[in-house]
């Protein structure tokens, strides 16, 4: 199977599509709520509209803050991101959702790409339990050689279709679209961070494990023919996350 290497324009366009997809729903709900406030004088309807606006604004903000670290150049002044910030944006993503999040990680600065990988794996774990459930995140070891362990447990749990091929940069179709950009991008980040990613399933629980790959070992996420730098987004932060 041939490795797919997106050029920088296609990669940035697909990531932008991903972010837009994640925020368009709450932003649209805010617009609807404002229209109700403008056109309806009924007190109960106005209160409903205000509640919708408040909830949707929080959701849009949470998704943008998550995307800023997971896909963007947040903290670009340094080479590390606080795991506490990763936990904060992850909890914000699930504040009003059917999925619960458990988080166990040291209070420490970790290399940027390892934190970005962790957040992208959180989103992959979310897609593994389409009916909701629990995502248990455990980070052990230090920043140079961490183990990222995510367990997604819920009804109808499954390894999302094609995610392993996309992580490896080798989609069966030979192309990557907006639905597959997240695992594809996670694979790029994993290779840039010298981390291997493996998925397994037992019963109603999917396990995602990411560990350092030694120079002599065969990576779980095979390296593409180009260097990670060729495929990474530029280090400029966008002004501006789960596909159905």
Inform me whether the pLDDT recorded for 243 exceeds 70. no
Question: Has residue 235 got a pLDDT over 80?
Answer: no
79 pLDDT band, cuts 50/70/90, is confident
- Domain topology for 8-225: Heat Shock Protein 90 (3.30.565)
Alpha-carbon distance 153 to 132, whole Å?
A: 8
- Residue 150 tokens read as 């995510």
Residue 81 pairs with which residues in a beta bridge? Answer: 110
Could you report the per-residue pLDDT of 39-62, keeping only the tens digit for each? 888 888 999 999 999 999 999 999
pLDDT of 233: 41
Percentage of residues in the chain with pLDDT exceeding 90?
71
Q: How far is the CA of 40 from the CAs of 26, 32, 50, 167, 190, in angstroms?
A: 21, 12, 12, 49, 51
pLDDT digits (tens, 9 = 90+) for 102-134: 999 999 999 999 999 999 999 999 999 999 999
Compute the distance between CA of residue 160 and CA of residue 181 in angstroms, rounded to an integer.
13
pLDDT in tens, 129-154: 999 999 999 999 998 999 999 999 99
Residue 225 tokens, joined? 């023919």
Whether 24 shows a pLDDT value over 80: the answer reads yes
Rounded to whole angstroms, how far apart are CA atoms 188 and 12? 13
Q: How is residue 42 written in tokens?
A: 């009924």
CA dist 55 and 120 (Å) reads 24
Domain boundaries, the chain: 8-225
Each as own residue / partner, the long-range contacts of residues 25-29 (CB below 8 Å, 24 or more positions apart, any chain) are: 26/56, 26/57, 26/59, 26/60, 26/63, 27/56, 27/60, 29/53, 29/55, 29/56
Cβ count near 97 (within 10 Å) = 13
Beta carbons within 8 Å of 15's beta carbon, 6+ residues apart: 71, 181, 185, 233
CA 171, CA 65: separation in Å to the nearest integer? Answer: 29
């Amino acid at each position: 199977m041939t490795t797919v290497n997106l050029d920088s324009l296609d990669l940035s366009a697909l990531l932008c599509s991903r972010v837009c997809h994640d925020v368009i729903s709450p932003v649209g709900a805010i617009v609807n709520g404002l229209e109700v406030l403008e056109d309806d004088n009924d007190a109960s309807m106005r209160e409903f509209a205000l509640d919708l606006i408040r909830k949707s604004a929080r959701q849009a903000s949470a998704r943008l803050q998550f995307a800023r670290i997971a896909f963007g150049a947040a903290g670009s002044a340094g080479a590390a991101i606080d795991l506490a910030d990763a936990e904060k944006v992850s909890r914000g993503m699930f504040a009003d959702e059917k999925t619960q999040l458990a988080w166990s990680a040291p209070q420490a600065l970790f290399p940027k790409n390892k934190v970005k990988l962790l957040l992208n794996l959180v989103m992959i774990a979310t897609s593994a339990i389409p009916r909701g459930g629990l995502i248990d995140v455990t980070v052990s070891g230090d920043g140079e050689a961490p183990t990222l362990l995510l367990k997604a447990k819920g009804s109808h749990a499954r390894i999302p279709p094609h995610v392993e091929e996309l992580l490896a940069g080798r989609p069966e179709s030979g192309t990557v679209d907006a639905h597959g950009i997240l695992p594809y991008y996670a694979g790029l980040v994993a290779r840039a961070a010298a981390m291997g990613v493996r998925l397994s399933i037992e019963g109603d629980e999917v396990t995602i494990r990411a560990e350092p790959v030694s120079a002599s070992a065969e990576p779980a996420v095979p390296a593409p023919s180009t260097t990670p730098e060729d495929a990474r987004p530029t280090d400029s932060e966008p002004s501006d996350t789960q596909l159905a």
